[in-house]
Each structure stands twice: as C-alpha cells, then as structure tokens.
Amino acid sequence: MQIGKYTLKTILSGFIGLDGGAMFGIIPKPLWEKTNPADDLNRVTLSTRNLLLISDDKKILIDTGMGKKWDEKSKNIYRIDPKLDIELALLQNGINPNEITDVLLTHLHFDHTGGSTKLDNGKLLPAFPNAKYFVQKKNFEWAMNPSDRDKGSYIKENFETLVKEGVLHLVDGEINFDENISFKVINGHTFGQQMIKISDSSNTILYCADLMPFVSHIRIPYVMGYDLQPMITVQEKKKYLKLAADENWYLYFGHDPDYAIATVKHSEKGIIQDKVFKDFE
C-alpha cells in the first residue's frame, strides 16, 4: 500500500503467548476462545507485527517487537519463538537494520520496544545505530517509574540505553511527524501511548497498538485486563472506531495472529468489523 510518500510494508517480528483471560478482561472464555483459542496453559497467540514506512529518504519502523534479550524462564512463560526477531525479520525483507532512520515507539512495554536495544559483547546498544527513536514523554516518565502493578511490563534495558546514547526523542502530546504521519495519544492501556496515523487525501491507516491488539477487540467491552484505566480505553475505542467507520480508515493490528488489517462499519448493533486482510495486497 502506498500512502503519500510512503510505501507500507509489514514486518512480522515474532509470536508470543499471553494469558487469554488477561487479553480479554471481563469477557468469559467461551466467548473469546471462539476467535482466539488457548493452549493448555490458557495462553492465546499474539504476533508482534511491525510496520515499515519507506520513502525516498527514510525507512521508518513502528515498534520493535520482543527482541532477543530473554532468559529461558521468560521464554517459557511468554512462549517466545527463539527463531525470529526484528533484525532477522528486516533482513528477510531485504532491509539492513543500519538503514532504519526513525523508530516510532507506541509505548515502552517489552513487547513493543524489546527489539530497540541489543547486547553486543555484553554491552547494551541501540539495535538501529542510525535511527532516532520517538516516544511520548508521558510514557517514558511512567516507564521510568511505573506502579507496582505494571512494573513487570517495563524493562529498563529496552530503553535506558537509548537515553544514554542520546537517540531517544520525547514527544509531548499529539503532533504531526510530517505531512503523512501523525501521533494520536491514548491513556487507557497505559499512560501516554501513541497510535500512529498515516494518511493522504485518499487513504488513512491507523496503527492501533494496544488500543485494540486483536481484530476481536473491535467489540467495545473486549478490553484487556492489563489496562490501567479500562473505562478510558472504552471511551478511546468508541472515539477511534467512529472515526474509522465514518472516514473509511484501515485499522492495523500489531498482535492479531492472523489478520494485519481490518475495516469497520456502522450497523444496528453499533460499529462492527467489516473486511479483514492478512496483509497488504
């Protein structure tokens, strides 16, 4: 897909398993397991699906997946596929990590920024040596000092090095990154998450990040147990689903194991899923 000056390309950087109950909050398992079947430890499959925006002079990566800095215990808990990560996924798509000019981080949870840094002879370094990294200031501040409930989701080795190396740029609120890319700030899942909106005069796609990780989260009450402010998530979903239905946006899903993209439409039951796509055609 081409939007403005950018060609959009999916970079699938891995698969993990997370507790199905946590992924669907108050929704009973007989409902969610129809679309997202659980394994014998009640985990459902998540992709870490990243988006690459390519123009004549830029290669912009949205989120960086889990990375490779995991011990055996964590690999088992999160069912991390050791064969795949963002660097390998880029190389398989003919892109060298050195070519990435910008990394737009939706937030600093480990499954979104784990691949931002790498270990090189025991030293932590930015995984994309020529890139500027961008995250919301509010999310960075929360990540440096999270609550006792959510501190397990923020692992400092994934972002402190970016500060030390002077490559992490803190964004304060909703901005236009350029004429085609803008940041939309939401606060239900965590504080200061930013969704990435890419648009031109004919097409809009929204990288939903953890507002709606799966296509099945298009249903309003399907809100993750991880969310710090679930009622804010409900309001944010209503706002962005209405915009998407009214203005024919494409929604891009970072964690759905099967579908990268969906559209939505108005119906008698409210806004519902319309078309789904495995990837750009």
What DSSP assignment string belongs to 133-185? EEEEHHHHHHHHS--TTTGGG--GGGTHHHHHTT-EEEE-SS-BSSSSEEEEE
Q: Of 51-90, which residues contact Zn ion (CB under 5 A)?
A: none
Site string for Zn ion, 209-248 (x = CB under 5 A): -x--------------------------------------
Q: What angle do CA 21, 25, 28 make, to 5 degrees?
A: 65
Q: Which of 43, 68, 109, 197 binds Zn ion (CB under 5 A)?
A: 109
Q: Is the Cβ of residue 9 or residue 109 nearer to Zn ion in the bound state? A: 109
User: How near is the Cβ of 112 to Zn ion at its closest, in Å?
Assistant: 6
CB of 276 to Zn ion, least distance (A): 22
CB of 183 to Zn ion, least distance (A): 16
User: CB of 98: closest distance to Zn ion in angstroms?
Assistant: 28
Of residues 4, 38, 34, 3, the one with CA closest to residue 20: 38
**Position with the least CB separation from Zn ion:** 109
Taking the complex as a whole, the smallest distance from the CB of residue 155 to Zn ion amounts, in Å, to 12
Residue 280's contacts (CB-CB under 8 Å, 6 or more residues apart) are 1, 8, 9, 10, 260, 261
Tell me the three state secondary structure of residue 231: helix
The nearer residue to Zn ion, 210 or 256, going by C-beta atoms, is: 210
Stretch that binds Zn ion, among 70-78, 91-99, 102-110, 156-164 (CB under 5 A): 102-110
Q: Any contact of residue 256 with Zn ion (CB under 5 A)?
A: no
Nearest 10 degrees: Cα torsion 80, 273, 244, 4: 60
The answer to whether the CB of 167 falls within 8 A of the CB of 103 is: no
**Dihedral angle of Cα 21, 26, 30, 34, to the nearest 10 degrees:** -70
| Closer residue to Zn ion, CB minimum distance, 153 or 182 | 153
Give the residue with the Cβ less far from Zn ion, 228 or 272.
Answer: 228
- Number of neighbouring beta carbons within 10 Å of residue 185: 18
Q: How many residues does the chain have?
A: 281
**Looking at beta carbons only, is 47 or 199 nearer to Zn ion?**
47
86 versus 245: smaller Cβ distance to Zn ion = 86
Tell me, by CB under 5 A, how many residues bind Zn ion: 2
Q: What are the residues binding Zn ion (CB under 5 A)?
A: 109, 210
